[in-house]
A and B are shown apart, each in its own frame.
Chain A
Amino acid sequence: MRRDHSGGSRSFKPDRDVEEFHGAYVPYDLAKEFIVALLVVGLLVVVFAFLFSSPDEAPVTIKSWSMNSPVGFAQTAITELDGTSATANYGPPYNSATPGATQSIGPLSPERWMGVHHPIDTSLDYVIGPLKTLPNRPALDRAIGRYLSAPASMRNAWDSAYEKAVASARFVGGAVVVRPGHYGPVAEMMSALTSMARSGALDGALLSNRQFYQTDYTKPLMFIADGSYLSNLAQARHLQGTQWGMMNETGNYPGQAWLWLYTFWYQVPPIKTSPNGDLEVWSIMMVLTALLVLLPFIPGLRSIPRLTGVYRLIWRRHYRSHI
């Protein structure tokens, strides 16, 4: 029996209570340990940097994408214009276009709760807006005006015809060439957008925001991700979610091995193919994190260190001399 803080008494439980230490105390220099650890780790960082350097992949930009895969860029760009791309139908936080596009577990749907707070209108933000920034292009300005003033049914017909034609387009003489058809002003707009992308100007147009330093790469990244170019690069480098990519780094560099449990759930059915996979994995990890944080309060789990006895191995001299 022992006395608690309120003056009462309760039985001694080894998971909850500790016996008062009656052994000897010795001084320990924590500042010395900190400095030695800092110096050793600092030295290791310098030596490892000298031996192995660090990953230095060239960034994937809209320019690099359209230079390497101009037809793929045009095929994606038309889906941004006609609103059929993945971004156009993503739902919150970018738009509210498609009911049911958000992930949810029963009533739990954080995406819906946060709402549309980073709006992206793919037609205006990715195509028409950037094209309007091009100076001294009267023919292009007329094409944009014609497109915007046409009835929706006419725009859909042009978009649909171009989308079918660009599937078998070729890149000849620095331009995306599609077979002749009734594309209205869309062919000219797509041609101008592809040239703008290949010059690097589209990267700049999509990065423009109200800050002096450009740190928000959401728009170009979503645009690039709508095509297959980025996912093909990721696939080749084992960075896809289905390849345990969350814990991988490019080349032979070690990656984020501590994310093994997070990425593990993405390999397990039915999460692997679930449309709510991200939310399910996040929920599982939150439950496991709560279990870890609350470990001292959970009977049974909190007994594991005592029952496994690793601490007796660490302090073996102490226990050898006291038993």
Chain B
Amino acid sequence: MLVKIDPFVAVFNLSDPGRYIHWGFIQISLGNLVVILVMVVVFVAAILVPFRRDEGKDG
């Protein structure tokens, strides 16, 4: 018996109906909120996490 394997099936399925967060007149999808939070975390990390090669150097 042959089993067909679709190489284009994603590991995580994001095609189900979207989840949204309502706060007053603000509506935001969970996907957008996660991306925005990740961007904030990356921004803060880029400022605060020191480069190892810079240790002991000026600037």
Residues of A within 8 A of B25 (CB): 267
Contact, CB under 8 Å: B58 / A321: yes
Question: Contact flags (1/0) for B1-30 with A, using CB distance below 8 Å?
Answer: 000000011111011111110000111111
* Count of interface residues, chain A, beta-carbon cutoff 8 Å: 31
CB distance from A305 to the nearest CB of B (A): 14
Which residue, of B8, B19, B59, has the highest number of chain A Cβ atoms within 10 A?
B59
Complex interface bits, B30-59 against A, C-beta within 8 A gives 1, otherwise 0? 111011100000000001100000100111
B27 touches A238 (CB 8 A): yes
Q: Are A252 and B19 in contact, with the CB atoms below 8 A?
A: yes
The residue in chain A whose Cβ has the minimal distance to the Cβ of B15 is A251
Stretch at the interface among A51-59, A121-129, A293-301: A51-59
A51 and B48 CA atoms in complex are apart in Å by 29
Neighbouring A residues of B26 by C-beta, 8 Å: 244, 267
Tell me, in angstroms, the Cα distance from A83 to B39 when the chains sit together.
49
Does A100 sit at the interface, judged by CB under 8 A?
no
Q: What is the chain A residue whose CB lies nearest that of B11?
A: A51
Known: A53-B8, A53-B10. A252 touches B16 (CB 8 A): yes
Q: How far is the CA of A317 from the CA of B16 in the complex (A)?
A: 48
Residue of A nearest to B54 (CB): A317
A167-175, A219-227, A253-261: which lies at the B interface?
A: A253-261
> Contacts A248-B29, A267-B25, A315-B59: A257 and B14 contacting too (C-beta < 8 A)?
no
Residues of B within 8 A of A (CB): 8-12, 14-20, 25-32, 34-36, 47-48, 54, 57-59
A-B interface, 9 closest residue pairs, ranked by CB to CB distance from nearest: A53-B10, A254-B31, A318-B59, A252-B14, A254-B35, A251-B15, A257-B32, A51-B11, A244-B27
Measured CB to CB, the residues of A under 8 A from B are 23-24, 50-53, 55-56, 236-238, 243-244, 247-255, 257, 267, 310, 313-315, 317-318, 321
